A = this chain, B = another copy of it.
């Protein structure tokens, strides 16, 4: 049908009937497959005993108890949306926007989403002028944070996003004001012309909508040079529930979720908890303890949910072994006195800077034997730390 598979058409329809993470609905798809699930959810066929049992088993295996009339109730609930169904129209809409519908049956389906288990999305509406698969999670980092960002948060976000795109990562965020917008913008700015996917915005509304309206220009840019994706069909509006559910997709697509700025209560913390819940790494950027915009980050650090990250190299390190070397380099600038024994350190401390000192005096000041002082002076002289002064005494060598 116009090049769409039966699974795509069925999942497109189901995406309009079921809210994200509707356990009975998602369980029905797992139990009966998308095509039969769509027939059942729209009242075209009824669920036989084997489907009922499979649904019961699916829900139970995910820790959900299923009431006897749960499916009947669900169908009643879904029926309120039957007259909004027009999957082919929705599919044509996304095609018109230069996009497509990814489903778990597609080659390009991001397998990382399977970690969401029963909450794995039914499908992803994808809009991007340059069709490429979403990279595997170890090449994807999400950067999230407050809408009311500070200039500190914006600067850090820009540096992180640039550094990550420069290292070949795709930067995922939510397309919102503040930290999200900064992350997308910096990713687009640094990306080479031929970078197929510097950034990707996961929306809580349909991919044909520009929400928030103030980000329309940015979202258009992302659609041109990156991708907009959503699990809700074109035309859908965002709601608080959908924002919270959307956050699980940001977390699941990425190896690392970095929270740059977040208040004590913040949606970004919800994304971080989703990430931690499915075993993804979480990074939090520290900031002033006097800034309410960093209180949520400090909360994550304090309760152990997140690792402290201060630059792109540290984030990359969390994503995997690829970029580890860059981080460790910083630790190895040695101080002059590194590697000295306690005795030599005592002797070095005892050496005068200006005048010079006798071996006897050095033994007393440093608390070493004469023999110890002589041996130590030999080593310090070799290391360029001590030198013979006028009249045969010893002193520190000027640096």
Q: Which residues of A contact B (CB under 8 A)?
A: 17-19, 21-22, 73, 76-81, 83-84, 152, 155-156, 239-242, 264-265, 285-290, 294-295, 297-298, 301-302, 307-311, 314, 330-331, 333, 335, 337, 342, 345-346, 348-350, 360, 363-364, 367-372
A290 to B288, CA, bound (A): 11
Task: Give the residues in chain B near A345, CB-CB below 8 Å.
Answer: 240-241
| A240-B285 in contact (CB<8A) | no
Residues of chain B with a CB closer than 8 A to A331's CB = 264
How long is the Cα–Cα vector from A156 to B289 in the complex, in angstroms?
8
A294 cross-chain contacts in B, Cβ below 8 A: 286
Closest-CB distance, A357 to chain B (whole angstroms): 13
Residues of B within 8 A of A79 (CB): 369
CB nearest to A345 among chain B residues: B241
The answer to whether B290 and A155 have CB atoms under 8 Å apart is yes
Given A155-B290, A265-B335, A308-B308, A346:B19 Cβ within 8 A = yes
Contacts of A73 in B (CB 8 A): 369, 372
B288/A77 in contact, CB under 8 A: no
Q: Can you report 29 A-B residue pairs in the complex whose CB atoms are below 8 A from each other?
A: A19-B346, A19-B367, A22-B367, A76-B371, A77-B367, A77-B372, A80-B363, A80-B364, A80-B370, A81-B364, A81-B367, A83-B364, A84-B364, A155-B290, A240-B337, A240-B345, A240-B349, A241-B342, A241-B349, A264-B331, A285-B289, A286-B286, A286-B297, A286-B298, A298-B308, A298-B310, A302-B307, A302-B314, A308-B308
Question: Contacts of A371 on B, CB cut-off 8 Å?
Answer: 76
A18 neighbours in B (Cβ, 8 Å): 367
Nearest Cβ distance between residue A294 and chain B, in whole angstroms? 7
Q: Which residue of B lies closest to A18 (CB)?
A: B367
- Could you tell me the distance in whole angstroms from the C-beta of A85 to the nearest C-beta in chain B? 11
Whole-angstrom CA separation of A290 from B294 in the bound complex = 14
- Chain B residues near A242 (CB, 8 Å)? 349
Residues from chain B with Cβ under 8 Å of A342 in the complex: 21, 241
For A346, what are the chain B residues with a Cβ–Cβ distance below 8 Å?
A: 19, 239, 241
Provide the residues of chain B in CB contact with A17, threshold 8 Å: 367
Using known A-B contacts A298-B308, A342-B241, determine if residue A369 contacts B76 with beta carbons closer than 8 Å.
yes
Tell whether A288 pairs with B287 under 8 Å between CB atoms, given A80-B369, A309-B302, A367-B80.
yes
Q: How far is the CA of A364 from the CA of B76 in the complex (A)?
A: 11
Whether B264 contacts A330 by the Cβ 8 Å rule is: yes
Chain B hits for A286, CB < 8 A? 286-289, 294, 297-298, 301, 308
Q: Which residues of chain B have C-beta atoms less than 8 A from A330's C-beta?
A: 264
- Contact between A308 and B302, CB atoms less than 8 A apart: yes
Question: Taking CB as reference atom, which chain B residue is nearest A347?
Answer: B241
- Residue of B297, B310, B350, B368 near A77 (CB, 8 A) is B368
Q: Which residues of chain B come closer than 8 Å to A310, judged between CB atoms?
A: 289, 295, 298, 302
What is the bound-complex CA distance between A343 and B236, given in angstroms? 18
